[in-house]
Amino acid sequence: MNPPSHPQARNPGPPWGYRFLGLCDRLLPEPVYKPLRAAGTWIALPLMPLQRQRSRAYLRAVLGREPRVRDVFRHFLAVCESLVLRLRVANRRPHRCVLAPGSEEFGRWLSSDRPALLGTFHIGNSDLAGYLLAEQGRRTMHLIRMRVGNSHDTDVLGARFGDRLRFVWVNEPSEMLFALKEAGCGAGTLALQCDRPEHSSRSEFFEFLGARRSFPFTIYHLARIFERPVFLAFGAPSGPDQSTIFASPAFEAAPGEPVDAALARARGHFQSFLRTVESYLRSHPYQWLNFLPL
């Protein structure tokens, strides 16, 4: 599906921001560039009141205390560092992904030709890991995304990985059904965001960070429709040129299994992985890069 000619949304920041970061990265040595990124983050804090408010709400939940200004700064800086790394990888900087213990079933699937449904989260290097999986796997990766006005990182990473990575642009809820059918009926793997409910037709409540919170649940209904396994995964920084992928075991609806029974197992599958997500965030609180309300 072609991206709309008139994007309806945009990422925070100026339209030239991503290209400026890339230019600085090419021209400046890291000992100079890194303090400049920190200074730019301090400047950005007062200019993004909505994101700052949502950051504080999330940090309050994950830290169990009132966040300090420095906590919010570190949260914003983590977003900046993640973006810079994506731009570096787009410019051919080597980066490898390793699997966390307990992700062996996901590793076996990566080595197969079988299509699947991949549920992703806005944590750490998850977006980057998705691109690298497209390069390492044996199938095309279809990424369901909202097209925004300033997404240079998406453009350059898509150019690097070519036909192994295809974006399915969905900017209106009415487009979702057709987009899913277009991508899901092929031989590729379909990746959906499981922590942003903008276009999810079905959401359910799960325990997360001390409260019942709503998460997209459409991926499990698609698993039954397309008869494909579901994996949930996120990528976390584990070195200057390495990400560690945390992945769930596969969920599959059994042939002839009653719908209610399959969905009950699906809820358990999602809740189990949310515990993995929460455990990671308790130790690395600034790596939650989702600035939507909890």
pLDDT grade for 3, boundaries at 50, 70 and 90: very low
Segment among 17-26, 139-148, 169-178 with least mean pLDDT: 169-178
Strand runs (DSSP E) across 81-229, as ranges? 96-99, 117-124, 141-145, 165-169, 189-193, 203-208, 211-216
DSSP three-state, residue 271: helix
DSSP three-state, residue 124: strand
pLDDT of residue 214: 93
Output DSSP code: residue 46.
G
Q: If you count them, how many residues does the chain have?
A: 294
Quick check: 233 pLDDT over 90? yes
Q: What's the CA gap between 277 and 100, in Å, rounded?
A: 13
101 token code pair: 């213990």
Segment among 151-165, 193-207, 214-228 with least mean pLDDT: 151-165
pLDDT in tens, 55-70: 999 999 999 999 999 9
The pLDDT of 236-260, averaged and rounded, is: 91
pLDDT in tens, 69-81: 999 999 999 999 9
pLDDT of residue 169: 62
Q: What percent of the chain has pLDDT over 90?
A: 46
Segment among 5-9, 48-52, 192-196, 264-268 with least mean pLDDT: 5-9
The pLDDT of 121-129, averaged and rounded, is: 84
Quick check: 204 pLDDT over 70? yes
Q: What's the CA gap between 270 and 264, in Å, rounded?
A: 10
What integer best gives the mean pLDDT of the chain? 82
The pLDDT of 104-121, averaged and rounded, is: 89
Q: Higher model confidence: residue 217 or residue 129?
A: 217
pLDDT grade for 91, boundaries at 50, 70 and 90: confident
* Segments in 28-125 forming alpha helices (H): 30-44, 49-63, 69-90, 104-110
pLDDT grade for 292, boundaries at 50, 70 and 90: confident
Please state the domain extents for the chain. 95-287
